[in-house]
Amino acid sequence: MVKLKVKSHVQQERNMAGVGNKFAPLPPILLNKKKGEPYKPKTPEDAGGGKNPFARQLAHGEKDVRDATFRALGKWLGARSDVDMLDMKKIWKGLFYAMWHADGWDVQEELAEEIGGLIHKLKHRVALMYAGVFFITARREWVGIDRYRMDKYLRLVRRFTSHVFRYCADRDWAEGVVGDVGEMFMRSALIPTGRGDQGVVDVGLRLHLAEVFVTELRNVAAGKDEVDIGCDPDKENEANGGAPRTVFFRRKKGEKRKAPREPVPRPVPPHATDALLKPWAQLLQLEPHKTLHKRVLHQVFERVLEGADGGAAFSGPESVEDAADAVHVRLDATTMKRMARTFIDVGADEGTGDLQRESLYELHIWFRKAYKRAAAAEGGDGEEEEAFLTKREKKKRKKEPSPEPEEEEEEEEEEEE
């Protein structure tokens, strides 16, 4: 049997002497919180010296600290007409890791809604910077998100995009506001460098954004963009995104369930749809990633054309998913005619790659046919092809004799094939 040697209390006290000098003092963030009292966040005014303490507090491990800091952040940003870019990047670094620490389905949903909803409390310039730096931060951090946390960030991107569209809808889809938002998408999320970069690490983010873009735009336009936090036991589970059945609404005792809000459509006018599609068209002009091209063509442009005037949502609503919502994202004949012409002009530019030219020409064909359908639905003949012809083709057509009616039909059939 081994006899353990026990130190005397004198020796223990001697060894423990000077412990206070061996360990660093607690960080100031914890010294501010007393037991039983709510946490009081520090603001840049409290920190002084041009420091921004929000990031550290937003990334704190305790939820109470993060929640209190987020409320203080909302007041601080809402009172400003401009924010330094570096400060906004620090803030979003903290918000990104606030979502990282969020555990539980309902906690993640609630935080995603709060982060996205903050944009409605900000002035226009600050709101644009807030949204733009979100996508900049997401692009930078995307490669570091592990598979266990990817779902929460996919949800954050979806809900934030929805709130950006709601921000435009609350301002009646004003041309200046939607134009600024489209520019923000292009510079921050889709083409940050102004050129197509091979092998960039944020392709996954843009693939997801292309997937949710039209869906969330339709939801906002149809007035169905509000979500329930948690899972209602009286509803189907799938309606809440597959949330566990154990996650329910947190209601106070005796509180009655609110009646569902009737959706109020806020249709997207053609000029706003055009402005929101421009960043995607420019991405097709510059981006060399083939998979991304395919996703953008079918998930963005093709789905938008479903709800255009004379589109599939009108002629065959049973073939379109959410046809009733699709019709609220509008494109008229005049807008599609102009867009079709732009696509073929850009695709014909020197220096345009083969993949990019192929995608732009395909868009030209889609929008040209959609324009004809819309013109026919509006009562026009839909045969105004002069606007789509180049100068050389126009001269050639003038020299050639007018074809017989049968030849015209054959040419149209060949063109459709």
DSSP secondary structure string, 97-117? HHHHH--SHHHHHHHHHHHHH
Q: What is the identity of the amino acid at 202?
A: D
CA 398, distance to chain mean position in Å, is 48
Question: What percentage of the chain carries pLDDT values higher than 90?
Answer: 50
Taking residues 375-397, report their average pLDDT. Answer: 56
Q: Is the pLDDT of residue 194 over 60?
A: no
How many whole angstroms from its chain centre is CA 95? Answer: 16
Question: Is residue 315 classed as helix, strand or coil in its secondary structure?
Answer: helix
Pick from 15-19, 119-123, 279-283: least confident:
15-19
Q: What is the DSSP letter of 32?
A: T
List the single range of 40-54, 125-139, 178-192, 361-375 with lowest mean pLDDT.
40-54
Residue 32: the pLDDT is 56
**Overall average pLDDT of the 304-332 stretch:** 87
Longest dimension (CA), the chain: 115
Average of pLDDT values for 328-353?
A: 92
Q: What is the pLDDT of residue 249?
A: 45
Give the helix/strand (H/E) hosting 248: none
More confident residue, 394 or 291: 291
Contact between 304 and 329 under an 8 Å Cβ cutoff? The reply is yes
The proportion of the chain whose per-residue pLDDT surpasses 70, expressed as a percent, equals 71
* Confidence at residue 33, expressed as pLDDT on a 0 to 100 scale: 58
* Cα gap 32→40, rounded to integer Å: 7
Angle of helix 150-170 relative to helix 105-117, nearest 10 degrees, comes to 30
Q: What is residue 59's three-state secondary structure?
A: coil
Work out the burial of residue 202: count CB atoms within 10 Å of its CB; fewer than 13 is exposed, 13-18 middle, 19 or more buried. buried
- How many residues comprise the chain? 417
Say whether pLDDT at 402 is over 70: no
Tens digits of residue pLDDT in 100-152:
988 887 888 889 999 999 999 999 999 999 999 999 999 999 988 988 899 99
Q: How confident is the model at residue 86 (pLDDT cuts 50, 70, 90)?
A: very high
pLDDT band at 154 (very low <50, low <70, confident <90, very high): very high
In contact, 268 and 221? CB cutoff 8 Å: yes
233-267: pLDDT as tens digits: 445 444 444 444 444 444 555 555 566 678 889 99
Task: State mean pLDDT over 169-191.
Answer: 94
Query: Is residue 390 very low, low, confident or very high in pLDDT (cuts 50, 70, 90)?
Result: very low
Instruction: List CB contacts of 412: < 8 A, sequence separation 6 or more.
Output: none
CA distance 63 to 52: 20
Residue recorded with tokens 């423990």 = 16
**Global pTM value:** 0.79
Range 373-392 average pLDDT: 60
- In this predicted structure, the answer to whether residue 184 has a pLDDT above a threshold of 80 is yes
Q: What is the pLDDT of residues 18-75, one digit of tens each?
A: 544 544 454 555 545 556 678 888 888 877 767 888 998 998 888 888 999 999 999 9
Q: How far apart are CA 20 and CA 23, in angstroms?
A: 6
Name the most confidently modeled range: 94-108, 314-328, 386-400, 403-417.
Answer: 94-108
